[in-house]
Each structure stands twice: as C-alpha cells, then as structure tokens.
Amino acid sequence: MHPESDLLPISALQHYIFCERQWALIHLEQVWLENRLTTEGRHLHERVDEPEHETRGGVRVVRALPLRSLELGITGRADVVEFHSDGTIFPVEYKRGKPKKDRCDEVQLCAQALCLEEMTGRAIPAGALFYGQPRRRHDISIDDALRRFTRDTILRMQAAYRMGITPTATYEKKCDNCSLLPLCMPKTTGKRRSAAAWLKREMAMIPTPDTNLSSPAR
C-alpha cells in the first residue's frame, strides 16, 4: 500500500505513454509550457471539472469525482462517473480532438476504473471516452489486457519517479505537437537532459538593472 503523500496523478500516465522525457520534464523537473492543443484541452476540462451531480433517467451523474488507489499509488479526478440503478458504475473521460493512435486515453480511463473498483468494491467492466471533434462517446472495454497494460505502466512510471532521472532528448515526428518542444529542443542535441537546469542557466545570463546607477542627465 502507498501512503497518501506518495500518490502520483492519474493524468501523468498519458504523459508517460506519449513520451517519457515529456513526463519527466513535467513531473520531475516541474516545467510546463502551453500551446494551442494544451489550452484547448484545459478549456474542455474546465467545463467538466466543477464538482456537481444530477440524476437523469434513473442515472446519477457525478462530475469531477475525486479518485485514489492506495494499492496502485495513484490519485486524480474522474470527469464524469455514471451510477446506474442496477449498480453499474460507468466512468467517462472527456478529451479534445480525435481518438489517438496509442492507448494513453484508454489507460487513463482504465486507471480511473481501477480506482473506482478499490473505492466501491464493485467491478467496472467498461467506460467511455468522449472526444471533442466527433462529439460522441467511444465505449471502451476494461478487459484483462487493458488492465495488465495499465498496471504495468503505473509500475514503470513509479519506478521512473523514484529514480528521478530525465531521459535524453530524441526527436520524433510527434515532438512537433508537444508544448515543451521549445524547452526540450530534441533537434538541437541528443545530449540535453534537464530543461529546468538549462532554463535556470539562461535566466542567470539575463542582465539585471543596476539600481546603483544614477539617473541619466536630461
């Protein structure tokens, strides 16, 4: 079991699957930059991140539900969780854009389901991903294969967090859509490791005003 202070965010799983260096820059070095894609995603979640609930057609809909798993060592919020009258619990994760080629969205949804199972004691066989461009749900089966992949990703992410090492930069086409590209700079060098250290050095080189200088003559 993991103590409360050691829980990692569920949202970090997406970063880890997309790029382990991006994950390290955000969650180890605490650096972040916005671009159009991240801004759109943030605005989308702002609309569903206000805690509230309602009942529609016998289904209780809860938004921004806090989640945690002490067994897995993760915590976060579910965008929407539906509680049906027959006992079914159905998580729904909202995403901007279209379905992705990798499984990062499915892993995030599965991690939420695993948290809900630990919290409620009920099995959760399925959930859904709602994408902004098609504006419709994609039902996802929380099957054994997805559960194994999700648990394995969580374990690898936690091991990387304990090691505290930022991987070196390696350019791939997907880098062009990353908001951290200006800090990561994978095209300029394969040896760059710490964006935070580089940013600190760059800031140190900026001259500061000399407050002891007299005012210029008029």
Question: For residue range 87-99, what is the model confidence (pLDDT) as tens digits?
Answer: 999 999 999 888 8
- Mean pLDDT (whole number) for 186-213: 56
For 154-202, the DSSP string reads HHHHHHHHHHT-PPPP---GGGGG-TTHHHH-TTT-S----HHHHHHHH
Give the DSSP H/E element, type plus range, for residue 25. Answer: helix 20-27
Domain residues for 148?
A: 4-199
Q: Quick one: pLDDT at residue 205? A: 55
In a domain, 204, yes or no: no
Query: Looking at the domain assignment, is residue 133 inside a domain?
Result: yes
Q: Tell me, what CATH number does 124's domain have?
A: 3.90.320.10
Q: Residues of the chain with pLDDT > 70: what percent?
A: 77
Q: What mean pLDDT is predicted for residues 57-83? A: 96
Residue 218 has pLDDT above 50, yes or no: no
Instruction: Report how many domains make up the chain.
Output: 1
Q: What is the pLDDT of the chain when averaged over all its residues?
A: 83
Where is average pLDDT lowest: 54-58, 115-119, 153-157? Answer: 54-58
Asked if residue 212 belongs to a domain, the reply is no
Mean pLDDT of 144-150: 98
Mean pLDDT calculated for residue range 16-25: 93
Which has the minimum average pLDDT: 37-46, 106-115, 124-133, 197-206? 37-46
For residue 157, being part of any structural domain is answered with yes
Contact 92, 71 (CB under 8 A): no
As a whole number, mean pLDDT of residues 29-40 equals 61
No. of H helices and E strands in the chain? 7, 7
What CA–CA distance (Å, rounded) separates 115 from 74? 8
- 104 assigned to some structural domain: yes
Could you identify the residue written with the tokens 């994950």?
23
- Asked whether residue 213 is assigned to any structural domain, the reply reads no
Residues in contact with 214: Cβ distance below 8 Å, sequence separation at least 6, in sequence order: none
